Amino acid sequence: MENIIQIDFADEMKNAYRDYAMSVIISRALPDVRDGLKPVQRRILYAMSELGLSPDKPHRKSARIVGDTMGKYHPHGDSSIYDALVHMTEDYSLSIPLVDGHGNFGSIDGDSAAAMRYTEARLSIGGKLMLENLEKGLVEFLPNFDESEKEPSVLPSMMPNLLINGTTGIAVGMATNIPPHNPSEVIDGVIAYMDRPGISTEKLMEYIPGPDFPTGGIIVNEEDMRSIYETGEGKIKIRGKVDIEKGDNGRQNIIISEIPYTVSGNKTKLVESFSALMKDKVFDEIYDVRDESSKEGIRIVIEVKKDRNIENLLNGLYKKTALEDTYSVNLLAVKNQQPITFHLKSLIEEFVAFQEELYTKEYEHLLQKAKQRVEIVEGLIRATDVIDLIIEILRGSSSVKQAKNCLIFGETAEIKFKSKDSEKQAKTLNFSERQADAILAMQLSKLIGLEIIKLHEENDTLLANIAEYQNILSSTKELHKVIKGRLREFKKLFSAPRKTMLTTATQQTYVEEIKEEDMYVLIDRFGYTKSLDAATYGRANEEALKDYPHIVSMKNTDKLCVFTADGNMHQVKGMAIPRCKLKDKGVLIHTLCKLDNDEVVQYISFEELFESMLFFITKKGFVKLVSGTEFETNRSTIAATKLEKEDHVLSVKFLSSHEVLSGDRRVFLHTKEGYSLVFDLEEVSELKRASRGVKGITLGAEDSIVCGAVLAPEDEIVRYRNKKLNVKKVRKTRRCAKGTKTKLT
């Protein structure tokens, strides 16, 4: 019988989720603080190194690289591995690309890379440097996922890759977002720290003033950088680089030559956002938008209409588009299998500590090799001095083992010598095993006088190297000299001027600049809406306008107010209503103000609404008067009236103050069961917008209002569903009465 282990479900879920979370954090999403690489990036570079794809070798198919990485080291999806490979080729994402791609690897516009079977890749110079000295045993090698291969736990990177290239990663409950920096500045900062380990963040920022994004741009909150570098967290505001040029026909052009790093690889969407703002009339100042970018660089042109305030328009673009964006900094990386939030100085400190470890191991390796070589060279030099004896030993020996034992231990038994003196001299030999092997493998050409001189010179050089290596290993100061010398070589190799400017700028408010003009909003019976300018509307004939039951005259700076049966009022900016030709269909009013499936009961311009009194009639017979000033708001949707359950607004009438105060206006209500009621408008009190109103007529349980109107003295006929009610036949009664049952005539 099998043993059954009882486990609490909640505990098992906690343990399983914790294991999963740590696996994502350590093995997938976050970079190691030492080499600045995520596991997938490290494995791709190592697989490329194993394939021999150095910068001086031909490119190899990306599919082969992905296959080797997935099969040997990273047993996850091939698409995620290829995405990581593509990212390491992007010069608009990394300060020093680690992979040299050949083929279509996407673009800054947002184009995706071609399939891995079409593209090719090899290590870039930067990628090769990440793997330098890997064969010297500087880092630990661990078994891969199935223990069939070995892979490095970290790459022996001798350049500060984490700060130079930055990284982004989302783990479980945490994320990292480290911006890229200028290689020269980072190296200068590292050297400054090595010279003065107690250096403050403020002093470090004299060397590393802030991130340097490959796409350039402008950091506009320079004053926040110190706090970000001291805490490891914060927000950077980035703007695109903008210049103003003269355009055609008296217009001026806004030229965007650098974009924020946050839209790197998504430039097309940025351009589309400018075009959308122009088409939707959000910015009336924009005449045209063009993307004139080429291989020479980015050039986005925004043509501005004549006599418009460009600075004001730029403030609007900064506010409403990604031309100004926020980059959230989080200097999170893995140290000793633990995720830690670092600050600028601690990141440099970790890098320097890693370099001390690497260079110590490197020089210990070099020292060991030099000592082994000195041993061999010294043996060869000694051998040349007694070469005749060695030849005699070789000729008199019956096997290599016999000759070797003689060279090492002086054993002469069974070796035939020409003389007793030679045998006696042979017994004094005491070469080491390594020296003996070298002597036995030595070519006769080494006996040439010039070759012997070279051996002596090599010996002198090796002894000098050994002394140098021992000096470096015995002094941290000397070790730092070597590290700084190598870093200065990297600086010369990757030196580039700073691309991202740092400044302090305040966010200015955008003042909407619209040229006021008359317009007409036309809504057909299906709700399709469009606007016409006054000239176009004036040329339209009556026959063409019959298709539009709702025509609202308003200014383009005004708002169209839409009242719905569910008791809400929606507002649509006049500039947001598409300007069309009369024959154009327009767009549904539902898309302009998110009406869903609500029934529209009335349209009016806000200017007319503000100067009016609104008379509401609901299906359950409630009526009220509300001042138009109650509806002044910046919100797109507000409640126009309070409704009881299953009640809805039947109609909204707009009256002037004169009509309300004249005392000659009457309210007419007609119900589904045929009852009608007329009473004076002055009997209805003015109420607040949020009120329900008062009962205008007493209804039966199944009855409801189907028709209502406010009548002027001269009004005689009210239309209801194309049938006529003779108002003279309706008995005038007091308000809230049941009414008189009348016949339709």
Query: Tell me: the pLDDT tens digits for 330-353?
Result: 999 999 999 999 999 999 999 999
User: How many residues are recorded in the chain?
Assistant: 745
69 and 150 both lie in a single domain: yes
Please list the alpha-helical segments (H only) found in 495-614. 534-539, 542-545, 589-593, 606-610
Among 48, 56, 58, 128, which residue's Cα sits nearest to residue 85? Answer: 48
Residue 89 included in any domain: yes
What pLDDT does 728 receive? 42
Average pLDDT of the segment spanning 302-325:
90
Cα-Cα-Cα-Cα dihedral sign, residues 200, 201, 203, 208? positive
Q: Is the pLDDT assigned to residue 626 strictly greater than 50? A: yes
342 within domain boundaries = no
Catalytic residue list: 118
pLDDT tens digits for range 204-253 = 999 999 999 999 999 999 999 999 999 999 999 999 999 999 988 888 99
| Range with the poorest average pLDDT among 449-453, 511-515, 606-610, 618-622 | 511-515
| Integer Cα distance of 616 and 626 in angstroms | 8
Type of residue found at 120 = E
Question: Residue 205: inside a domain, yes or no?
Answer: no
Lowest mean pLDDT among 77-81, 357-361, 505-509: 505-509
Banded model confidence at residue 736, pLDDT cuts 50, 70, 90: very low
DSSP 724: E
Tokens of 616: 């509401």
pLDDT at 80 (0 to 100):
93
pTM: 0.72
Contact, 661 vs 724, CB < 8 A? no
Q: Which one has a higher pLDDT value, 288 or 722?
A: 288
pLDDT at 354: 96
Domain identity same for 464 and 448: yes
Top mean pLDDT of 358-372, 566-580, 689-703 is at 358-372
For 614-637, what is the mean pLDDT?
91
List, in sequence order, the alpha helices (H) in 51-182: 62-68, 78-87, 125-130, 161-165
Which of 554, 577, 605 represents a domain boundary (last residue)?
605
pLDDT band, very low/low/confident/very high, at 289 (cuts 50, 70, 90): very high
pLDDT score recorded for residue 718: 54
Number of domains the chain contains: 5
| Domain edge (last residue) among 96, 125, 157 | 157
Do 713 and 734 fall within a single domain? yes
Task: Return the higher-pLDDT residue of 731 and 100.
Answer: 100
Which pLDDT tens digit goes with each residue over 523-545? 998 889 999 988 889 888 888 88
CA distance 314 to 253: 11
For residue 404, what pLDDT band results from cuts at 50, 70 and 90? confident
Q: Is the pLDDT of residue 496 over 70?
A: yes
85: Cβ contacts below 8 Å, ≥ 6 apart = 44, 62, 65, 66, 99, 116, 121
In a domain, 279, yes or no: yes
- The DSSP secondary-structure symbol of 360 reads H
Average predicted confidence (pLDDT) for the chain: 89
Judgement on whether residues 582 and 641 belong to the same structural domain of the protein: no
Helix/strand/coil (H, E, C) string of 370-388? HHHHHHHHHHHHHHHHCHH
CATH of the domain at 140: 3.90.199.10
Tokens standing for 381? 């030099």
Mean pLDDT of the region 554-561 = 90
Residues 426 and 546 in one domain: no
Q: Is the pLDDT of residue 720 over 80?
A: no
Percentage of the chain modeled with pLDDT above 70 = 95
Which residue has better confidence, 690 or 743? 690
Helix-then-strand count for the chain, H and E:
23, 35
* Nearest to 31, CA basis, from 229, 223, 177: 177
Domain enclosing residue 98, as ranges: 31-157
pLDDT over 80 (residue 314)? yes
Residue 390 included in any domain: yes
Same domain membership, residue 696 and residue 666: yes
Contacts of 489 (CB under 8 A, 6+ apart): none
Assess whether pLDDT exceeds 70 at residue 514.
no
Confidence of residue 550 (pLDDT cuts 50, 70, 90): very high
Compute the CA torsion angle 483, 196, 234, 326 (nearest 10 deg): -60
What local confidence, expressed as pLDDT, does residue 427 receive?
86
The yes-or-no verdict on residue 732 having pLDDT over 50 is no
Do residues 531 and 483 share a domain?
no
**For residues 77 and 730, which has the higher predicted lDDT (pLDDT)?**
77
Q: What average pLDDT does the segment 33-60 reach?
A: 95
Among 605, 621, 654, where does a domain finish? 605
Which tops the pLDDT comparison, 89 or 633?
A: 89
pLDDT of 512 over the 70 cut: no
Does residue 11 sit within a domain? no
Q: What's the mean pLDDT in 54-62? A: 96
Q: 3-class DSSP state for residue 57? A: coil
pLDDT of the residue at 198: 94
In a domain, 423, yes or no: yes
* CA atoms within 13 Å, Cβ hemisphere of 40: 24
The pLDDT value recorded for residue 19 is 80
Tell whether 615 and 601 lie within a shared domain.
Answer: no
Q: Answer yes or no: is 340 within a domain.
A: no
pLDDT of residue 563: 93
Print the SS3 string covering 403-422: HHHHHHHCCCCCCCCCCHHH
598 and 669 share one domain: no
Stretch 282-303: mean pLDDT, rounded?
A: 90
617 and 703 both lie in a single domain = yes
- Name the residue among 334, 351, 332 with its Cα closest to residue 186: 351
Q: What is the CATH number of the domain that holds 657?
A: 2.120.10.90
Q: Do 367 and 466 fall into the same domain?
A: yes
Assess whether 385 and 286 both reside in one domain: no
